[in-house]
Amino acid sequence: MTFLIGIVGKPSAGKSTFLNAACLTNAKVSELPFTTIEPNKGVAYIKTKCVCQDLKVDDNPKNSYCVNGDRFIPINVLDVAGLVPDAHKGKGLGNQFLNDLIRADALIHIIDISGSLDKTGKRIKMGENDPYDDILFLEKEINLWFKQILEREDWDKFVKSYARENKKFIEELYKRLSGIKVNRKQIIQALKNSSLEELSPSLWSDKDLLNFSKILREKSKPIIVVANKIDRENGMENFNRLKNNYTEKIIPCSALAEYFLRTYHQEKKIEYIPGSDSFRILDNEGFNQNELEGLKNIKEKIINHFSETGVQAALNFTVFSTLNQICVYPISDINKFSDNKGNILPDAFLVKKGTLLRNFVRDKIHTDLANHFIFGIDARTKRRLGENYELKHNDIIRIVTAK
């Protein structure tokens, strides 16, 4: 099972452009707001230094791919319609379409950092909109969406039944929310962080419910802010202002630049690895003067400044920093680092930091195998690893089973 990342934001911020750049899809893009109505799906890849270089082996990846020592691991991405203020009351396309995102593990919020779109995605004078307002409004709408899912039509009736039994209440909340990928631990933590642990749910005020929804949303669907259109006038200035005054966690990006680079690479006109700090023109004749000028601008104004276009950085940040994942390579032959068919380093798995070997076997390899699981072997050191061993980033592990 892989991750699902949802792309959200107001109309025309560049969500579909981001998806197309990340996944080489052909989702419709236009200047007009509400271009996307039905969601667009794609497969993107997060990028990590592959262990093949360390080990000096040529690998044959199966569940991922490797280019020049960089391992690319697939994740699913979903781009949805634009969200406008008061969507939860039915404005714009309302927020019903957000239900497409209920299985998402995290949300990437694409904002127009140049500030040239009003709240509904209509063109206005550059700089007239403050992108910081966009960050606040979207979080608010998403939190309200969570609240609506939580309370449904029958909150009062629902809480009355569990007024005195905290354990039962948690279990029923879990049932109510498991469809939106919320787990028990997150519910318990959210109750604690909102100081509602001790208060009977029938006494919660509307504000309590909103606060609880907000904390639960932060835990189960964290939002990563991506400052898109950094290539436009005002982009850089706004980005620095937001980063210095409001939030460290904001990623500069030009989805359009990445889209051009990926497309030219696919057409074999340039050599480019997603997320890298350079590209090489293979065929000067293949470009007109405008396109060459565009490439020069991408190099000078974006890549030289930020070391990449930001699309790969956003995906990597989401998976490695926000979702706290590490990468592990299971193999069968500890000398060749291969599976039993001779494929070297065939699989790269993403697992949460802190995962124990036992749980890795159960969740990622095979549930049945976990019943027979005895121990693991670290392929680098050839040391034996117990079932309570905590996995480390870039571990290469043989699982030894009784069968």
Ligand X SMILES: Nc1nc2c(ncn2[C@@H]2O[C@H](COP(=O)(O)OP(=O)(O)OP(=O)(O)O)[C@@H](O)[C@H]2O)c(=O)[nH]1
Minimum CB separation from ligand X for residue 249, in Å?
Answer: 19
> Which CB, 16 or 309, lies closer to Mg ion?
16
Minimum CB separation from ligand X for residue 259, in Å?
Answer: 8
Minimum CB separation from Mg ion for residue 17, in Å?
Answer: 8
Sign for the pseudo-dihedral over CA of 304, 307, 310, 311: positive
For ligand X, which residue of 144, 215, 226, 255 counts as binding (CB under 6 A)? 255
228 interface partner picked from Mg ion, ligand X, none, CB below 5 to 8 A per type: ligand X
> Which CB, 96 or 178, lies closer to ligand X?
96
> Which CB, 34 or 155, lies closer to Mg ion?
34
Query: Token digits for 314?
Result: 């956003």
| 230, 239 Cβ separation under 8 angstroms | yes
User: Footprint of ligand X on residues 210-229 (CB under 6 A)?
Assistant: 228-229
42 interface partner picked from ligand X, Mg ion, none, CB below 5 to 8 A per type: none
Minimum CB separation from Mg ion for residue 31, in Å?
Answer: 11
Cα 136 from Cα 237, distance rounded (Å): 19
116 contacts ligand X (rule: CB under 6 A): no
- Give me the residues paired with residue 44 across strands: 75
12 contacts ligand X (rule: CB under 6 A): yes
34 interface partner picked from Mg ion, ligand X, none, CB below 5 to 8 A per type: ligand X
In the stretch 55-84, what mask flags binding to ligand X with x, by CB under 6 A? --------------------------xx--
Q: Which residues bind Mg ion (CB under 5 A)?
A: 15-16, 35-36
34 contacts ligand X (rule: CB under 6 A): yes
Minimum CB separation from ligand X for residue 273, in Å?
Answer: 20
14 contacts ligand X (rule: CB under 6 A): yes
Cα 366 from Cα 325, distance rounded (Å): 20
> Which CB, 232 or 358, lies closer to ligand X?
232
92 contacts ligand X (rule: CB under 6 A): no
User: Footprint of ligand X on residues 321-360 (CB under 6 A)?
Assistant: none
26 contacts ligand X (rule: CB under 6 A): no
> Which CB, 13 or 52, lies closer to Mg ion?
13
CB atoms within 10 A of CB 64: 22
For ligand X, which residue of 5, 15, 260, 349 counts as binding (CB under 6 A)? 15
> Which CB, 15 or 71, lies closer to ligand X?
15
Kindly report the three-state secondary structure assignment for every residue of the chain.
CCCEEEEECCCCCCHHHHHHHHHCCCCCCCCCCCCCCCCEEEEEEEEEECCHHHHCCCCCCCCCEEECCEEEEEEEEEECCCCCCCHHHCCCCCCHHHHHHCCCCEEEEEEECCCCECCCCCECCCCCCCHHHHHHHHHHHHHHHHHHHHHCCCHHHHHHHCCCCHHHHHHHHHHHHHHHCCCHHHHHHHHHHCCCCCCCHHHCCHHHHHHHHHHHHHHHCCEEEEEECCCCCCHHHHHHHHHHHCCCCEEECCHHHHHHHHHHHHCCCEECCCCCCCCEECCHHHCCHHHHHHHHHHHHHHHHHHCCCCHHHHHHHHHHHHCCEEEEEEECECCCCECCCCCECCCCEEEECCCEHHHHHHHHHCHHHHHHEEEEEECCCCCEECCCCECCCCEEEEEEECC
Cα 171 from Cα 178, distance rounded (Å): 10
In the stretch 286-315, what mask flags binding to ligand X with x, by CB under 6 A? ------------------------------
Query: Token digits for 41?
Result: 């799906």
29 contacts ligand X (rule: CB under 6 A): yes
Part in contact with ligand X (CB under 6 A); list of ranges 25-33, 242-250, 283-291, 335-343? 25-33
36 contacts ligand X (rule: CB under 6 A): yes
Part in contact with ligand X (CB under 6 A); list of ranges 33-41, 139-147, 210-218, 344-352? 33-41
Footprint of ligand X (CB under 6 A)? 9, 11-17, 29-31, 33-36, 81-82, 121, 228-229, 231-232, 254-256
